[in-house]
Amino acid sequence: MLDELATLPAGARALVWVRRLDARGRESVGLLLNAFRTAEGRTALVDSSADPVTDLNALGACGFRLLRYR
């Protein structure tokens, strides 16, 4: 996902929907993150529901969806 975000132009904004499965293998409530590319070309993800920052590798994600907006 980060590689795909890195291809967006500077100033681009997006939502990242992290999909997860519950213990029975059903799709469960996921996580919605804000993403953006700075004018300097850096990529940032913001999880406004967590402190400290969410470890995406620890989520048990079954998929990601990138939704770009203006």
Evaluate if residue 56 carries a pLDDT over 80.
no
What pLDDT score was predicted for residue 35? Answer: 93
| Residues forming a β-bridge with 65 | 17
Q: What percent of the chain shows pLDDT beyond 90? A: 34
Pull the structure tokens for residue 62.
């079954």
Tell me which of 66 and 53 has the higher pLDDT: 66
If you average pLDDT over every residue of the chain, what do you get? 85
What pLDDT score was predicted for residue 16? Answer: 92
B/e letters for 20-53, b = 16+ CB within 10 Å, e = fewer, are: eeeeeeeeeebbebebbbeeeeebebebeeeeee
Pull the structure tokens for residue 18.
């992290």
Evaluate if residue 54 carries a pLDDT over 70.
no
Q: What percent of the chain shows pLDDT beyond 70? A: 90
